[in-house]
Chains A and B, each alone.
Chain A
């Protein structure tokens, strides 16, 4: 069962298909060539049957030459009549050839063969001379070299010294061509060509098929749907690419389910944070409201001061809860910033306008010196205000002693920067409301998320925070 499954896998494997093509290519020459030769031979046999019966007589030129020289040897010393008779016999057998012989004196003694052939012989080399001169003999031999027609010459007695003349057999080219089977060699070439082309086409189709499927896979992986996920693809054959497609579909499904889980978790987390915020803030609100009720009662100035302090601490707790929850969201990367090109000076002015009454109430000297020329950075407006809120909150809580807040702009190293300064005792001082620095951590996280940089210089004379944008203005 497992074997059958493995075989089916092997059969459907791209690798085995590719190997099959390679093996075919390797075996092409050693296998196909002998195969075609066999086919050719078969053709030849079939063809031979279709040819005139005597065509086989002329198929082997060497045999013919051998035969002719043998006959010449046998006729050594034979009288002309015997030679004539033998040549008559041979002409009868090789009826399509022209046969003649010339005696020792150079006289043409007998010319036999189809009339047409004789004419041809005469046409090619001119009429056979009755009496051969040396020049005519040489001209004839020269003409015979061309093998059109094939001329076999043998001296009677098979040697020139015998001086008994020579005998000639001329086989017309047409007869020889039939024997050689030119048409078959064309077929042979064609079959080879077709086989080569077929091999090329099969290889090409194989790779085209693979390429097409790979491209389809690539497209499916690249195109992202409205949910930000690539869609599943219909898997085809159960080969390597098919399995890759299935693996891709599995991956997409898992990714989608993971996203869904993540989004559910995110919702759960947000809800948890909200609920936690609610559960912490509600009792604080109740306490604060009751404190307010108490302030209206007749209480000693010391009691009033305590109530005020408690109220302030509750406000601080509110801020701490806010920061804690924001930090939780920011640190888990759940916050999506909606960054836009904004004039940060305008945001600074609007934020300062909201804080101004409090600064005024606390007796702060407020020094705002921002240029009229806007400074455009790519920021999320709400979160940028949050950064400023945290910085101003720090000033009010920790730098109250300095009673100063300065918001200005400067050019430093060719960049327009924002400068927020106070005259407090610095971060190292023991402020009564010193916290865990969560506010500044949130500032750092948010500025980084908005691709802004900041530095802080804190001494006992005050703290100054510089916010700048390395990418300059946009």
Chain B
């Protein structure tokens, strides 16, 4: 099933090029040139790409209305305005903010991240080196043997968090605070211990991790 993106952009040229590019990337694209009809169109969309400067209702207002109507729907603001105030205003309701002139690849990468985070793009199993991850039913299996790897609750939460941010480096503070829901304390080794056990289960050779990569001095990353 193809993912449908609602793309609201008033500039015909940009709208045309961007929607063609997104279609080539196998997304269904519904392009509107103003905020009119956005609420109806968003009903069967999995993500909204919203320009700020629109005729009639501006992007912020349209975005706020969409978020109120569909709280789970990820919104990516696309703007040619780059002031901090605009970004802050946009991020009050939007999930991400991309400034023009953006590279189509960057837009596609961000869409991918947002869809993954929202759980929209997880219907298909994810192949990670020697593993296959069924995110929708929380299963991790060895690709060659089909043997399922059982993870504890915390291990699963850590792994899911890293998968939701696939390709991104997450700092230990970010992982700890997302999984444990409390502020990271200086010198806390809990996360390291959990990751060690997680690697023992996931990696072929825990001493040379291939799945959960350590980025020295910063944090951890799971790469596709």
- Residues of chain A touching chain B, judged by Cβ–Cβ distance below 8 Å, are 270, 273-274, 277-282, 284-290, 292-293, 311, 314-315, 317-318, 321-322, 325, 329, 335, 346, 349-350, 352-353, 356-357, 366-370, 372-374, 382-383, 386, 407
> Complex formed: what's the CA distance from A369 to B217 in Å?
6
Q: Which residues of chain A have C-beta atoms less than 8 A from B85's C-beta?
A: 270
Name the segment of B39-47, B151-159, B167-175 touching the other chain.
B167-175
- A contact face: mostly helix, strand, loop, or mixed: helix
Given contacts A346-B171, A346-B173, A349-B171, whether A288 and B103 have CB atoms under 8 Å apart is: yes
Which single residue of chain B is at the shortest CB-CB distance from A273? B83
A374: B residues at CB distance < 8 A: 186
Judge whether B218 and A353 touch: CB under 8 Å: yes
10 contacts between A and B (CB under 8 A): A281-B82, A282-B80, A285-B101, A288-B103, A289-B17, A315-B103, A325-B82, A349-B173, A368-B216, A368-B218
Find the residue from B81, B168, B171 having the highest chain A CB count within 10 A: B81
Q: Is the CB of A382 within 8 A of B101?
A: no
Cross-chain contact A277 with B217 (CB below 8 angstroms): no
B137 within 8 A of A: no
CB < 8 Å neighbour of B99 from A293, A314, A322, A346: A322
A281 pairs with B100, CB closer than 8 A: yes
Interface size bracket, B side? 35 or more
> Which B residues are within 8 Å of any A CB, using their own CB?
11, 13-14, 17-18, 20-21, 53, 80-88, 99-105, 167-171, 173-174, 186-187, 215-219
Whole-angstrom CA separation of A287 from B17 in the bound complex: 10
Within the complex, which residue of A273, A277, A353, A372 is in contact with B170, where a contact is CB–CB below 8 Å?
A: A353
Asked whether, in the complex, the Cβ of B101 is within 8 Å of the Cβ of A318, the reply is yes
B105 CB contacts on chain A under 8 angstroms: 292
On whether A284 and B218 interact (CB within 8 A), knowing A274-B86, A349-B171, the answer reads no
Q: How far is the CA of A420 from the CA of B173 in the complex (A)?
A: 22
Minimal Cβ-Cβ distance residue in B for A335: B84
Residue in B14, B187, B218 whose CB lies within 8 Å of A285: B14
Given the interface contacts A285-B80, A288-B101, A368-B217, does A350 sit within 8 Å of B53 by beta carbon? no
CA distance A455 to B127 in the complex (A): 47
- Decide if A353 touches B171 in the complex (CB within 8 Å): yes
Does B13 contact A286, Cβ atoms closer than 8 Å?
A: yes
Q: Check if B101 sits within 8 Å of A407, measured CB to CB.
A: no
Q: Which residues of A contact B103 (CB under 8 A)?
A: 288, 292, 311, 315
